[in-house]
Amino acid sequence: NAGVTQTPKFRILKIGQSMTLQCTQDMNHNYMYWYRQDPGMGLKLIYYSVGAGITDKGEVPNGYNVSRSTTEDFPLRLELAAPSQTSVYFCASSYPRSGSPYGYTFGSGTRLTVV
Amino acid sequence: QQQVKQSPQSLIVQKGGIPIINCAYENTAFDYFPWYQQFPGKGPALLIAIRPDVSEKKEGRFTISFNKSAKQFSLHIMDSQPGDSATYFCAASKETSGSRLTFGEGTQLTVNP
């Protein structure tokens, strides 16, 4: 099925541990994004990419890193997990076209708890 | 900082009612205003979107009203159903920003039978 696939769905980390959240899309979308969702806070942009080899910081990038070696994959890396990183993480992709409405396709999310 | 303010935070209506969710934005350069619907355990999904050259857009039971001068837009759900119970996010972006969406805080809607 076409779409955005995120793994894992759930994860518990201990403070100071590292992990990579995986995201892959098969729609040949050039734009990809990582958001975190906290209750009552909406979705905050962590990092985004406009194409392979190009990444940029969003609103809340501290504590995270990304890479984009292929069009399909956009992994998010947490190097030293902190309790403040407990959240639900969503990956999304889009294919903006000038003059036409465009939307994001979101994955189903990764629920991360740091204890 | 670009912001989108959404209200109310939660909303409870009876089946058949017309819930209204409001959003206000600051950046006059925004040129795309979508609404996303999110069910528990799922990612948000695009529901309906509007550009500032029109004041209203309707798709089925969902309508966006847009007031450019007031920098506000709202979502109306006609004849609401229990299956509409979800969290709704408004968002905004400008094309030159690489389509990055700025989201509102979300509204948790409950439609009682």
- Please give the share of chain A, as a percent, with pLDDT higher than 90: 79
Q: According to the model, what pLDDT value does residue B66 have?
A: 95
Query: What is residue B111's predicted lDDT score, i.e. its pLDDT?
Result: 97
Q: Which of B41, B99, B105 sits opposite A42 (nearest CB)?
A: B105
The answer to whether B69 faces chain A, any CB pair under 8 Å, is no
pLDDT over threshold 60, residue A99: no
A30 to each of A52, A70, B61, B68, B98, how far by Cα in Å?
8, 10, 32, 31, 11
pLDDT tens digits along B97-112: 556 889 999 999 999 9
Judging contacts by C-beta atoms under 8 Å, the chain B residues touching residue A36 are none
Task: Verify whether the Cβ–Cβ distance A31 to B99 is below 8 Å.
Answer: yes
Q: Which pLDDT does position A39 carry in this prediction? A: 82
Has residue A100 got a pLDDT over 80? no
* Better pLDDT: A41 or B11: B11
pLDDT of residue B96: 58
Residue range A21-75, pLDDT digits in tens: 999 999 888 899 999 999 878 899 999 999 999 999 999 999 999 999 999 999 9
Query: With 80 as the cut, is the pLDDT of residue A77 above it?
Result: yes
Q: Cβ distance A87 to A78 under 8 Å? A: no
Chain mean position to CA A33: 5
Distance of CA A88 to the CA centre of its chain: 10
SS in 3 state form for B43-107?
CCEEEEEECCCCCEEEECCEEEEEECCCCEEEEEECCCCHHHCEEEEEEEECHHHCCCCEECCCE
Return all residues near A87 (Cβ < 8 A) that are at least 6 apart.
A36, A37, A38, A112
The pLDDT of residue B98 is 57
Closest-CA residue of chain A to B44: A106
> What is the overall mean pLDDT for chain A?
91
Whether B103 contacts chain A with CB within 8 A = yes
Of A42, A102, A106, the CB nearest to B99: A102
For the segment B77-98, the average pLDDT, to the nearest whole number, is 89
DSSP A80: S
Type of residue at B53: D
Question: Strand pairing partners for A33?
Answer: A48, A92
Distance from CA of B51 to the nearest CA of A (A): 8
